[in-house]
Amino acid sequence: MPTIVVDVMPKAELLDPQGKAVTGALSRLGVDAFSAVRIGKRFELTVEGEVDDDVLATARRIADEILSNAVIEDVVAVEVVE
């Protein structure tokens, strides 16, 4: 069954406390390859049947209106997989 993946990340200008905590933990554990970590959400929407333009438009709409909070988050991708 086709799946639509929606990626939502905290806005770049906002502090991401979860990400900051992981960045700190990595550095305490001796992992210094990464200068920053940001943590967002990945939604997998299972579609029954075909993914047509209507379904994709609906996915984009709910990504903006329901799955993300536009005040603090950006929808960075809405894409069909499989």
Chain residues in the site for a copy of itself (CB under 8 A): 1, 4, 7-9, 19, 22, 25-26, 29, 31, 33-48, 54-55, 58-59, 62, 66-67
The DSSP 8-state label assigned to residue 62 in this structure reads: H
| Complex with a copy of itself: residue 34 or 70, whichever CB lies closer | 34
Phi, psi (5° rounding) for residue 8? -125, 130
| Complex with a copy of itself: residue 28 or 71, whichever CB lies closer | 28
Alpha-carbon span 39 to 16, nearest angstrom: 7
Q: Which of 5, 7, 10 is nearest to 22 (CA)?
A: 10
| Complex with a copy of itself: residue 49 or 71, whichever CB lies closer | 49
